[in-house]
Amino acid sequence: MAAAALAGRRLLLQRCAAGGRCRLLGTAAEASSSPGGSEEAGGAAGGDEIYLKKPAAAVTTRDETSVAMPMSFMTGSVVGKRFYREATVRRADDGNGWTVMLDYRTLKSPAKRPLKLQSRTLAMAIAAEWEYQESDGIRPFTMPLMKLACTALERVPLTRKRIIDNLMKKFHQDLVFCRSPADNELTVGVHQRQQEKIDPILDWVNTEFGFKPVVYTSFFGGHQDEGLAKAVETVLKNTTDFELASIDAMAAAAHSLVIPLAIFRGRLGIEQAIELIRLEEDHQVDRWGLVEGGHDVDIADLKVQMSSAAVFLLLSWQL
């Protein structure tokens, strides 16, 4: 996890430490106040409004004022102009975890539930994402940690079984179990790279779970030992909501469940994982060349998806 730890530290140093923008607010007296007593919406029209709740009178706790993003936040659309001066973090008024503040308002999820996080470090990173939004628009696609937090707090508790079932359904066709043929001049190079890079991960699976994986070359995939599948499923069932949200996000980007589990268990770092995911395509790029606006964009997108999910996992473990 060294690469994930480094990425997490860089994220916090670059976004939180510079200028002290994401300072901690410890008591209600430290929050800025604002007159008025109304509820208003700002941003796009229709069902995409940013829901702002203001106090009707003197406020005793800051949880009485809040801001909730529209459901379109989770799809990546621009959801309106920046309406706050600064983003900070503080302990929740009930003492249960940490919350993100946009000025005097407590940030809520698109479902209008308080965004309470057990990790202060993760709350600071999410506040940094909000702090660095531009004045002309709030761009959810630049806030992967916020989206993952909403997923972990709202989607995973309600659909945990479905998420695990979906991951296990694709497990038998995992990327690391598929091996290119060694008897074809077009694929022999990939086969050699797979032996060098992926075989150590297969050995780790055998050691970690007690079952040797089945390697196949068929386009339609193979079938792993039921004991291995049960062992992997048990690991998923024992995860927290934040861990499962991170593993699910990485699995979707990697087309692999083994690679996220190796990150989860500390066997792989982010850069190693990306190398394994792109092993076959990088071989083709080395042979035929890189297509600008295609391969380079795919690489950047993969790095963002894998890095953000791995950093989210790491930060969720910290206090």
Tell me the per-residue pLDDT of 20-77, one tens digit each, with 9 for 90 and over. Answer: 444 444 333 333 333 333 444 444 434 556 655 555 544 445 555 777 766 667 666 7
Mean pLDDT of 258-284: 93
Longest Cα separation, the chain: 77
**What is the per-residue pLDDT for 291?**
83
Query: Which tens digit of pLDDT belongs to each residue from 193-220?
Result: 999 999 999 999 999 999 999 999 876 7
| pLDDT tops 50 at residue 5 | no
**Which of 192, 220, 173, 174 lies closest to 287, judged by CA?**
192
Is the alpha carbon torsion for 202, 206, 212, 214 positive or negative?
A: negative
Residue-averaged pLDDT of the chain: 82
Instruction: Tell me the C-alpha distance between 63 and 215, whole Å.
Output: 54
Q: What is the pTM of this model?
A: 0.79
Q: What's domain 73-141's architecture?
A: 2-Layer Sandwich (3.30)
- Name the phi and psi angles at 121, rounded to 5: -60, -40
CB 171 within 8 A of CB 257: yes
For residues 257, 76, 297, 170, the Cα torsion angle rounded to the nearest 10 degrees is: 20
Which of 52-61, 104-113, 181-190 has the weakest average pLDDT?
A: 52-61
The whole-angstrom separation of Cα 154 and Cα 259 is: 25
Which of the listed CATH numbers 1.10.3580.10, 3.40.190.170, 1.10.10.1100, 3.40.50.300 matches domain 143-318? 1.10.3580.10
CB-side exposure of 123: number of CA atoms within 13 Å?
Answer: 25
Count Cα atoms within 13 angstroms, Cβ side, for 103: 13
Which of the 8 DSSP states describes residue 152?
Answer: I
Q: What dihedral angle (degrees, nearest 10) is formed by the CA atoms of 114, 5, 129, 147? A: -50
Q: Are 16 and 22 in contact (CB under 8 A)?
A: yes
| Average of per-residue pLDDT across 109-135 | 93
Q: Where are the domains of the chain?
A: 73-141, 143-318
For the stretch 130-167, pLDDT in tens is 999 999 989 998 999 999 999 999 999 999 999 999 99
Q: 55: closest CA among 84, 71, 32?
A: 32
Radius of gyration (Cα) for the chain, nearest Å?
Answer: 22
**C-alpha–C-alpha distance, residues 260 and 209, integer Å:** 15
Which residues does 101 contact at the CB level (< 8 Å), separation at least 6?
A: 25, 31, 62, 87, 88, 89, 90, 107, 127
